């Protein structure tokens, strides 16, 4: 075990007496390593990894009946997704602060923004994850041009098998 690994378990300074070490028959290399004073290190920051379904839809707010109907048609009739094969989240219920913290292959955000992502209606690849930002579903539901833009990008995210 290296000194840096040992310091993860100890919270206080440790002092070793060489005579005690010699009595335990440690070699001289171990004496050098163990007699070094431990450095205080910052605790590791643990980021939560949030696991949702492979496809995640994030909305800026709860959907009205009109925008909910548009979304349901888009998902069930357009993308042919079964209920339960995707997660639906509202921004205020988000458990994560950064898209790196979500484990899903496809993330579609409606009316929600994250730093580093400004392009709307353009599929962005982050490793194996595809991300698409769009206007709010309420705005899309009432605008045919936005529906077309969204649909064009969703076809790239969800290619049909031939």
Query: What confidence tens digit (pLDDT) does each residue in 42-70 have?
Result: 554 544 455 678 898 989 889 888 889 99
Query: What confidence tens digit (pLDDT) does each residue in 126-140 have?
Result: 888 898 999 999 999
Alpha carbon 119 to its chain centroid, in Å, reads 19
Any domain includes 7: yes
Both structure tokens of 7: 């310091």
CATH of residue 111: 3.40.470.10
State whether 97 and 143 are in the same domain: yes
Owning domain of residue 20:
3-35
State whether 10 and 64 are in the same domain: no
Low-confidence ranges of the chain (pLDDT < 70): 1-51, 94-101, 114-118, 161-162
Any domain includes 42: no
State whether 30 and 54 are in the same domain: no
Q: In what order do the strands lie in the sheet with 124-126?
A: 86-90, 55-59, 106-110, 129-134, 124-126
């Amino acid at each position: 075990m290296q000194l840096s690994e040992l310091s993860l378990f100890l919270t206080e300074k440790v002092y070793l007496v060489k005579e005690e070490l010699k009595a335990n028959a440690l070699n001289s290399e171990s004496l050098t390593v163990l007699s070094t004073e431990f450095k205080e290190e910052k605790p590791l920051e643990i980021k939560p990894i949030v696991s949702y379904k492979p496809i995640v839809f994030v909305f800026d707010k709860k959907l009205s009946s009109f925008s909910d109907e548009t979304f349901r048609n888009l998902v069930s009739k357009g993308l042919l997704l079964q209920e339960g094969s995707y997660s639906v989240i509202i921004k205020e219920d988000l458990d994560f602060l950064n898209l790196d913290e979500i484990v899903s292959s496809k993330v579609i955000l409606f009316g929600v923004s994250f730093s580093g992502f400004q392009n709307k209606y353009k599929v962005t690849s982050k490793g194996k994850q595809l991300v698409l930002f769009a206007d709010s579903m309420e705005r899309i539901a009432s605008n045919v041009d936005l529906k077309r833009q969204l649909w064009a990008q969703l076809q790239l995210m969800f290619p049909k098998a031939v």
